[in-house]
């Protein structure tokens, strides 16, 4: 019975936003804007009263299905129509918009440019919902990302969630305990384009009982089996 009780999943095992002292504490930090990288693909929307210029950019149409995307090449530049290659690698979307707008205003002073990532997705694997999912807003949190994928399985190791992230210094892997409330506004809290979220399977998963009703069912079945065998032995 003690063994079975120890294998049950409790709120301590899988509960989120806990404030227990034995959970790790993570330092808070400021949100860092995503910086454009090689192979990112951009959609451009041109806003202007000049109908000729508007017609040159299909992505400025109201239907997103007509949008074209422009890839950032290995040298960090993008080739937009009628413009010389512009280096956008390392800039945030807001900074890139300002650079492209300045170039475009050489054609018409009222031009405003809006840029968006067409490759803004993240991936979830392991003991959680699996697949690729869109980053539908700026500052998407780890909780919102996992909710999109269907959430963590009870059999997932909540204490060792990993994020695999491409950075200027190379691939970075961070491991954290998602049960701790202190992850809010920490470096683990926000999801960036191309992130991979990995949830390992808990070592307890093989023996685990997901609820106390399941536990009682196991105990009752065990007692019934024991009494049946005992009666059969005594009848001999």
CA quadruple 60, 65, 68, 70: dihedral sign: positive
Question: Does 206 have pLDDT greater than 90?
Answer: no
Question: Does 136 have pLDDT greater than 60?
Answer: yes
Which of 83, 117, 151 corresponds to the end of one domain? 117
- For residues 95 and 162, state if they share a domain: no
For residue 153, give Cα distances in angstroms to 8, 15, 130, 149, 229. Answer: 14, 12, 11, 11, 37
For residue 43, give Cα distances in angstroms to 57, 116, 121, 189. Answer: 10, 5, 15, 27
- For residues 111 and 132, state if they share a domain: no
- For residues 131 and 184, state if they share a domain: yes
Q: How confident is the model at residue 165 (pLDDT cuts 50, 70, 90)?
A: very high
Give the residue-averaged pLDDT of 88-116: 93
Whether residue 212 lies inside any domain: the answer is: no
Question: Residue with structure tokens 């995503």?
Answer: 34
Annotate 169-212 with three-state secondary structure: CEEEEEEECCCEHHHCCCCCCEECCCCEEEEEECHHHHCCECCH
Question: Does 115 have pLDDT greater than 60?
Answer: yes
Whether residue 217 lies inside any domain: the answer is: no
Q: How confident is the model at residue 149 (pLDDT cuts 50, 70, 90)?
A: very high
* Separation CA 4–CA 219 (nearest Å): 9
* pLDDT of 3: 46
Question: Does 211 have pLDDT greater than 60?
Answer: no
pTM above 0.85, yes or no: no
Helices and strands counted in the chain (H then E): 6, 12
* pLDDT of 221: 60
* pLDDT of 231: 67
Mean pLDDT lowest for which of 34-38, 61-65, 85-89? 61-65
Whether residue 86 lies inside any domain: the answer is: yes
44, 34 in Cβ contact below 8 A?
no
Whether residue 148 lies inside any domain: the answer is: yes
Give the residue-averaged pLDDT of 159-175: 91
Whether residue 230 lies inside any domain: the answer is: no
Question: Does 128 have pLDDT greater than 50?
Answer: yes
Give the residue-averaged pLDDT of 30-55: 88
Q: Model confidence over 78-100: pLDDT tens digits?
A: 998 888 999 999 999 999 999 99
- For residues 189 and 169, state if they share a domain: yes
Which of 117, 141, 164 corresponds to the end of one domain? 117
Question: Does 105 have pLDDT greater than 80?
Answer: yes
End-to-end CA distance of the chain: 29
**Mean pLDDT of the chain, nearest integer:** 83
Q: How confident is the model at residue 108 (pLDDT cuts 50, 70, 90)?
A: confident
Whether residue 221 lies inside any domain: the answer is: no
Domain span including residue 142: 2-33+120-206
* Of 31, 37, 61, 60, residue with least CA distance to 119: 37
């Amino acid at each position: 019975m003690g063994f079975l009780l120890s294998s049950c999943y409790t709120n301590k095992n899988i509960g989120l936003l806990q404030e227990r002292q034995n959970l790790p504490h993570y330092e808070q930090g400021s949100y860092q804007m995503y910086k454009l990288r090689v192979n990112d693909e951009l959609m451009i929307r041109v806003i202007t009263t000049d109908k000729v210029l508007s017609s040159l950019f299909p992505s400025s149409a109201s239907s997103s299905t007509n949008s074209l995307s422009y890839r950032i090449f290995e040298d960090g530049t993008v080739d937009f129509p009628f413009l010389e290659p512009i280096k956008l690698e390392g800039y945030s979307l807001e900074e890139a918009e300002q650079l492209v707008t300045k170039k475009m205003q050489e054609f018409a002073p009222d031009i405003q440019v809006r840029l968006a990532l067409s490759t803004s997705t993240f991936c979830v694997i392991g003991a959680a919902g699996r697949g690729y999912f869109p980053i539908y807003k700026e500052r998407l949190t780890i909780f919102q990302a996992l909710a999109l994928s269907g959430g963590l399985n009870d059999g997932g190791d909540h204490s060792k969630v990993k994020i695999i992230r491409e950075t200027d210094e190379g691939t970075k892997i961070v491991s954290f305990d998602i049960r701790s409330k202190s992850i809010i506004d920490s470096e683990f809290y926000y999801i960036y384009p191309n992130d991979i979220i990995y949830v390992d399977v808990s070592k307890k998963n093989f023996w685990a009982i997901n609820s106390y009703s399941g536990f009682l069912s196991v105990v009752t079945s065990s007692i019934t089996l024991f009494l049946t065998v005992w009666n059969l032995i005594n009848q001999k």
